Amino acid sequence: MAHLNIVLHEPEIPANTGNIGRTCVATGTRLHLIKPLGFDISDKAVKRAGLDYWPKLDVTVYESYEDFLEKNPGAKIYYATTKGPQTYVDVQYEEDCFIMFGKESAGIPEDILYDNQETAVRIPMINDIRSLNLSNSVAIVLYEALRQNNFDHMQLAGHLRTHEWR
């Protein structure tokens, strides 16, 4: 069974993290937050954006990037960045990989990206756009990783209340 992981490196905006948390709950994905955070994890805005899903979230908080690496030895990590040398569809996401996103104002530090060029990926955009919203970026890349893993453990068909699909 696929157990994907989303990592937010020093997230700053609670509503983005709340929205990402809700996406993680809906997909059975684990969320990892690397400090410093730009908000208190109990912040009402985080919980409001995640609605009633926040208590169902599998979330781990780390003191630093180094702490994250120490507690996840050997983890396959993809680094989502506007500076990536390849697109997010050019790689094969393993069923237990980690996909990291940087803080809203600056992204993932360039030293980390430079040391991990082979797993740095980007979402294609036109030249004059700085970046997409963080929660949108997470959804785009996460759903590609889920698609590659055949949406393992996910409900693939919806149901009507008053009719049956043909």
Query: Binding site: which residues?
Result: 102, 123, 131
Backbone angles phi, psi at 5, to 5 degrees: -135, 130
List binding-site positions for S-adenosyl-L-methionine: 102, 123, 131
* DSSP conformation class of 159: -
Taking the C-alpha atoms of residue 115 and residue 47, their distance in angstroms, rounded to an integer, is: 34
Residue owning tokens 């996840």 = 72
The structure tokens listed for 151 are: 């949406």
CB 4 within 8 A of CB 99: yes
- Angular region, 153: left φ>0, alpha ψ -120 to 50, beta rest: left
User: Which residue in 123, 104, 76 sits closest to 11, CA to CA?
Assistant: 104
What tokens appear for 45 in the block?
């805005």
